[in-house]
Each structure stands twice: as C-alpha cells, then as structure tokens.
Copies of this chain bind each other. A is one copy, B any other.
Amino acid sequence: MHLAHARTLDSSDPLAHYRARFEIPDPALIYLDGNSLGRMPKAVRPLMDELLTMWSDRLIRGWNEGWWMDLQTRIGDKIGRLVGAEAGEILIADSTSINLYKLAAAALRLRPGRTKIITDDLNFPSDVYILESVCRLVGKEYELVVVPSDGLNGPLVGLEAALDERTALLSLSHTVFKSGWTYPPAEVTAMAHRAGALTLWDLSHSAGSVPVGLAAAGADLAVGCTYKYLNGGPGAPAFLYIRKDLQSEIRNPIAGWIGQDRPFEFGLEYKPAPGLRRMLTGTPTILSIAAIEPGVDLLLEAGLDALRAKSLAQTDFLIELWESELAPRGYTLKSPRDHAVRGSHVSLAHPEAWGIDQALIEELGVIPDFRAPDNLRLGIAAIYTSYEEIYRAVEGMARIVDEKMYEPYRRGSLEVT
C-alpha cells in the first residue's frame, strides 16, 4: 500500500525528470546521503573535459581570458539566487572552515571593544573549533560562549540571554547538522542587532534545499559548503557572503594577492580590491570550482520553491512512514515535525544505529548517514530523490530490525564511519 502510494507520488512529481540529469551508474542504489555528498550532474563530465583542454591549450592565457577569473563571482551570484542574496554578495573560495575563520576574525574588527562570540552546541563541531581558533589568535580577552541547546531545538531564549553589549558576533548553523532544526534568520538577526552584534551563518545544510532569505533577514555574514545539496563534488570549495553595505568597511584578515586591487602588478603595498573580491586570498582552485556550476544551474532551473515544496512533502512522507513502520521497531524521531523549522534531512535514533547503518549499506544497498552516538540521518535531495527510494529505505530499516541483521555489524567502540 505504501509502495503504491510512493509510486503515485513519483508519477505526479513535477521535478521527477531532473533525476535523469545526474549520472547514476547503479540505479538500484538508494542514496540518502546527498546532504553529505550530492550526486554528480551529467554536465560535469563534458565541462571537466573542456576545462582540461583550456588548461593544455590556453595555458597561462586562461587567466587573462576571463572564464577562470570570473568563476568565483559568477557561481557566487548564482548561489546568491538560491539563498536570497544580491549579485555581488557571494563568492566561492577556500573551504567553509577557512571562510568562517576569515569572516569571524573580520567581524571582531568591525566591533572593536566587544570580545564575545556566541554560538550553540548544535553547531557543526568544526565551526566551534574555528571560532575558538579566532578567539585564541586575536587575544586572551576574547571568549567563545557555547549556549546549550534545548533538546533538538535551537536555544533561542538562551541565545537572547547571552547576547549583550560585549558580544561582537553570533554565529550559528542555519540548519543544524544532526537534527536538521532550522533557525529563523530574520528573527535571530534582529535579536543580534538589538544587542549591537553581527550575525555569521553557516548555510552548509540549507543552501540549495531550504529558503534562507539572507537579504530579507538583514543577515550580515554567511558561509556554506557546495558539496551537499549544491552537488559540487567531493570537497568542492565553499562560499562566503557579506552584505553589500558591510563590504567597504570589512578587511580581509588573511590578505593575499588575489584580493589585491591590482593583483598582476605585484606591488609590495597591499590595497584591497573594491567590494567582495578583497576577501580572496590565494589562487582559486579552478578544476574544483568549475565543477560546482552544473549542480547550481540545475537547482536554479528547478526553482527553490519547487524544491522546498518537494522536500517538505518527502520529509512528511518519511515521517509518516517512521510513525507507522519504524516507531514500533524502536526508532525515535530526532528531527522537528514543524515545517517552519525543518531542514531537508530527517534523523532517526536507534540503540543499534551503527549496526543498522552498516547493514543498510552492505546488505541492502541503502546509504544513509550515521552520526554518533545513535543517529541515522536520511537526507532528501529533492532534485533527485524519489518517493519510492524513501519507501524502500524505510522498508529496509524495518527489515533489519525484524531480522536482527545489525548483529554481525555491531561494534565495541565507534570508529571512523
């Protein structure tokens, strides 16, 4: 009955044809980890071939012929359309962690005299390490406050209480990596601004799947990764966002030649480029950056509203199936039911989660994501995930418990997954 329903939903899905735009060598594989590494758009392969020909044929001239030098801002502008930023507010560079470091350090300089950075314990651990790194490097008086979460939910009350006249920056994941709980950016930004603090968002788990509305929220700064819902490829470079009116006052804390006003003059005196380009540091990794564009183009073609509508319908479907099939088998829902604060993945906890994860991959060809201690994350990439896949994954999760298929995969201690 559920299967028939899934098939009906697939047959009336207006986005279903986008699946054919991705290279899917094993159609039987059920892939629910597009929130860790998205599938490869078919357009990447010919693009990469063309790019290698540019390298071998144009050689150094490739830098002067525009296409390479414009990649960071051109793709940045396209991502801007997915997260509600204006043209010239986003560019591609480095990794999410490096970008977070640069923007956090720059933010402290924009709020002299303020020595506190605030985050929460739902944030991606790397973000916490980075914010600690910034505090440690800029001076002993700087402090990172990690506000404890309220169950699965972002600690809005605790954050508001922590914000004070010493706070320079509030940095949060928009959609948090374990539960998928999603902050309301406008509300949080207003809260930070009332205290005179800036906001710095990590959009890694929302860009391309959840509306962000950076401009509408009045957000100050943001970073995000491109290899999850944006389908940019393994370790694809990240993006950074700076609200337009902050760009002229911001200073790059790692000033490098590509962010210089006239990089090819090679003068010893650093003069920042106008606008966002001043945030660049080293030479851009052209092959990895170029591979990001086809995935972003597909999402723009499909439209974020349609993608979000399908993602909510699919996570609803998954939560319904959890309720009828998985809750009785010991799975607990660890993601919000409320659409307003839901991301595009659903976390289900189970005492045997590690063994279930391994059995799903090895025995049933279903790939979820395991997050310690007991979370199975099921990522919905609306651009290519089908309802039938969601049904099959749930069917597998039920079967593994019924047949105790997790037993051979149990581990004494957690290791790298």
Contact A126 B282 (CB under 8 A): yes
A267 within 8 A of B: yes
A361 to chain B, nearest CB (A): 8
- Is A412 engaged at the interface, CB distance under 8 Å to the other chain? no
From the candidates B95, B126, B130, name the one contacting A94 in the complex (CB within 8 A): B95
- Are A255 and B130 touching (Cβ within 8 A)? yes
A369 cross-chain contacts in B, Cβ below 8 A: 60
| CB-based nearest B residue for A137 | B253
Contact count band on A: 35 or more
- Chain B nearest CB: distance from A200 CB in Å? 15
Using a CB-CB cutoff of 8 Å, which residues 243-268 of chain A contact chain B?
Answer: 252-257, 260, 262-268
Q: Are A254 and B97 touching (Cβ within 8 A)?
A: yes
Does A28 count as interface, using CB distance less than 8 angstroms?
no
A49 at the interface (CB under 8 A from B): yes
| Contact A367 B260, beta carbon cutoff 8 Å | no
Given A283-B225, A283-B235, A286-B235, check contact A256 B367 (CB 8 Å): no
Q: For residue A277, which residues in chain B have a CB less than 8 angstroms away from its CB?
A: none
Asked whether, in the complex, the Cβ of B23 is within 8 Å of the Cβ of A235, the reply is: no
| A30 vs chain B, min Cβ distance (A) | 11
Tell me how many chains of this kind the complex includes.
2
Interface contact B44-A59, CB-CB below 8 Å: no
A22 / chain B contacts, CB cutoff of 8 Å? 56
Is A48 located at the chain interface by the 8 A CB criterion? yes
B371 and A266 contacting across the interface, CB-CB below 8 Å: yes
B257 touches A129 (CB 8 A): yes
Pick out which of these stretches binds chain B: A62-70, A180-188, A343-351. Answer: A62-70
Does A56 lie within 8 Å of B414, measured CB to CB? no
B59 pairs with A266, CB closer than 8 A: no
Asked whether A324 is an interface residue with its Cβ less than 8 Å from the other chain, the reply is no
Residue A236 is within 8 A (CB to CB) of chain B in the complex? yes
Q: Would you call A267 and B125 a contact (CB within 8 A)?
A: yes
Alpha-carbon separation in the docked complex, A302 to B178 (Å): 50
Q: List the B side residues contacting A314 at CB < 8 Å.
A: none
Would you list 25 pairs from A and B whose C-beta atoms are within 8 A, ordered by A residue?
A25-B53, A31-B59, A33-B60, A39-B59, A48-B48, A55-B233, A59-B367, A60-B369, A61-B361, A68-B234, A95-B283, A97-B256, A98-B254, A126-B282, A129-B256, A129-B257, A129-B270, A130-B255, A132-B270, A133-B254, A137-B138, A139-B139, A235-B284, A285-B288, A287-B288
